[in-house]
């Protein structure tokens, strides 16, 4: 079989575009989607192309965006709507190939190698995909094309988004265009890694591609080789529909509405997080043995916090087991500085229908409690039952029960 044809299809200003489709009065106005301005979540989640012309960028504060464009239209996010449209787009792509792999809510990989006899060459298929998505959802998409996923992704990020037709192919014949770009433009290189690489005298993607591999492996191990392969456009991972079938961990993270300074307050939110992680595990049919817990401090300029994990003697999906493990980590590693956010996850998962029991632990009581909780939540919703501590000023469970990913549905 010849060279593969892989697409990375990205939706332009996805949240903002969906909002413009929902409300046609916003069509020709600068629009940003942002969280509640009264809370810390008041940051820009998405900006439409008109708003971006004023210099507004994703992740800046709402106040900063309004200074750049006082007449900008601010829309609160509707997460369920975005999820629904994303699923609709997946189904559109599946009309062109059965190999569609979601990468994020607004990006999806497609392997169209076997679709060319049906729909034309790679560029014709890309145009047809764009047209169908636009016709059915009102969302404009850009398509990066490559012989593998990493080149398709970098073709989209660095070239297709800047092209008039929103389509670009990147392969070994023109990879030198990628190599001329700053190292910070490479997929997988964040600000911290960029500083490290610049400190080594590597300023461009080409500089990394031509850097001696043994040096990178000595410094970063397998991650050094991954960086080198990415710079050289090497990627052996296939587009697969099974990417999300086997979950590696179940977690929940929360950015707090204010600085939490006391152990009592943090303890309340930690219990809520553990309850949600346990509920999600049961919903997915998992138990886990490794509890990970992380805290981030409130000072952006001098960030504090920790991230630690502990392995339990036996697998669990009971919230108090997870909480007790995370709470011990909190007591040991928290520096008593104000906390801005915290997250808990359970990993090393296994199916919950077959597990070893502990004769010295009342597992039947735990199973009965779990079952009772889940029946009530499934029937009446997440606000039907929670611990009394969540009714205090520190509690967040009631409000977050009506949100998706920390944002209103």
Q: Which residues are annotated as a binding site for Mg(2+)?
A: 10, 106
CA distances from 294 to 28, 273, 326, 393 (A): 43, 12, 9, 22
| Residue 389 tokens, joined | 């501590």
Which residue's structure tokens are 């099974």?
A: 242
Query: How far is the C-alpha of 10 from the C-alpha of 278, rounded, in Å?
Result: 33
In our burial notation (b when 16+ CB lie closer than 10 A, e otherwise), range 42-78 reads ebbbbbbebbbebebebebebeebbeebeebbbbebb
H or E segment at 311? strand 305-316
Q: Among 101, 91, 115, which residue's Cα sits nearest to residue 4?
A: 115
Query: Residue ranges for the binding site?
Result: 10, 106
| 152 neighbors 144 (Cβ within 8 angstroms) | yes
**107 assigned to active site:** yes
H or E segment at 66? helix 62-68
Residues forming beta bridges with residue 146, ordered by sequence position: 6
Extended strands (E) in 48-170: 73-75, 100-104, 107-111, 141-146, 167-169
- Distance from first CA to last CA of the chain, Å, rounded? 45
Query: How far is the C-alpha of 233 from the C-alpha of 242, rounded, in Å?
Result: 23
**Catalytic pick among 19, 73, 101, 107:** 107
Query: How far is the C-alpha of 74 from the C-alpha of 285, rounded, in Å?
Result: 39
How many Cβ atoms sit within 10 Å of the Cβ of residue 294?
19
Relative orientation angle of helices 263-284 and 319-333, to the nearest 10 degrees: 140
Coil vs helix vs strand at 343: strand
* Torsion 17-403-106-67 (CA) sign: positive
| 152 neighbors 233 (Cβ within 8 angstroms) | no
H or E segment at 281? helix 263-284
Catalytic residues: 107
């Amino acid at each position: 079989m010849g060279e593969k044809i892989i697409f990375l299809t990205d939706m332009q200003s996805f949240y903002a575009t969906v909002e413009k489709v929902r409300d046609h009065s916003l069509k020709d106005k600068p629009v940003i989607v942002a969280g509640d301005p009264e809370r810390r979540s008041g940051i820009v989640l998405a900006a439409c192309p008109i708003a971006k012309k004023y210099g507004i960028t994703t992740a800046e504060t709402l106040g900063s965006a309004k200074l750049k464009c006082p007449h900008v239209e601010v829309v609160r996010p509707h997460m369920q709507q975005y999820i629904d449209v994303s699923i609709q787009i997946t189904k559109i792509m599946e009309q062109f190939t059965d190999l569609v792999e979601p990468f994020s809510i607004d990006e999806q990989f497609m392997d169209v190698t076997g679709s060319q006899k049906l729909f034309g060459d790679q560029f014709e298929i890309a145009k047809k995909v764009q047209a169908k998505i636009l016709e059915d959802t009102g969302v404009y998409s850009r398509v990066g094309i490559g012989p593998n996923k990493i080149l398709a992704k970098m073709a989209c990020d660095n070239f297709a988004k800047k092209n008039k037709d929103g389509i670009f192919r990147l392969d070994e014949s023109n990879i030198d265009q990628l190599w001329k770009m700053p190292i910070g433009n490479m997929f997988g290189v964040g600000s911290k890694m960029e500083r490290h690489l610049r400190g080594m005298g590597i300023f461009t993607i080409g500089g990394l591609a031509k850097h001696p591999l043994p040096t990178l492996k000595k410094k970063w191990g397998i991650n050094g080789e991954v960086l080198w392969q990415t710079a050289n456009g090497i990627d052996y991972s296939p587009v697969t529909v099974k990417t999300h079938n086997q979950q590696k961990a179940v977690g929940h993270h929360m950015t707090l509405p204010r600085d939490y300074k006391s152990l009592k307050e943090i303890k309340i939110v930690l219990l809520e997080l553990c309850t949600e992680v346990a509920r999600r595990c049961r919903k997915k049919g998992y138990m886990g043995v490794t509890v990970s817990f992380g805290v981030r401090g409130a000072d952006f300029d001098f960030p504090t916090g920790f991230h630690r994990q502990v392995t339990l003697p036996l697998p669990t999906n009971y919230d108090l087991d997870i909480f007790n493990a995370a709470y011990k980590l909190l007591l040991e590693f928290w520096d008593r500085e104000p906390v801005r956010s915290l997250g808990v996850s359970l990993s090393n998962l296994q199916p919950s229908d077959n597990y070893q029991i502990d004769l010295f632990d009342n597992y039947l009581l735990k199973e009965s409690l779990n079952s009772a909780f889940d029946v009530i939540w499934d029937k009446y919703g997440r606000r039907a039952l929670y611990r009394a501590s969540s009714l205090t000023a520190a509690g967040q469970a009631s409000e977050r029960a009506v949100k998706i990913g920390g944002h209103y549905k």
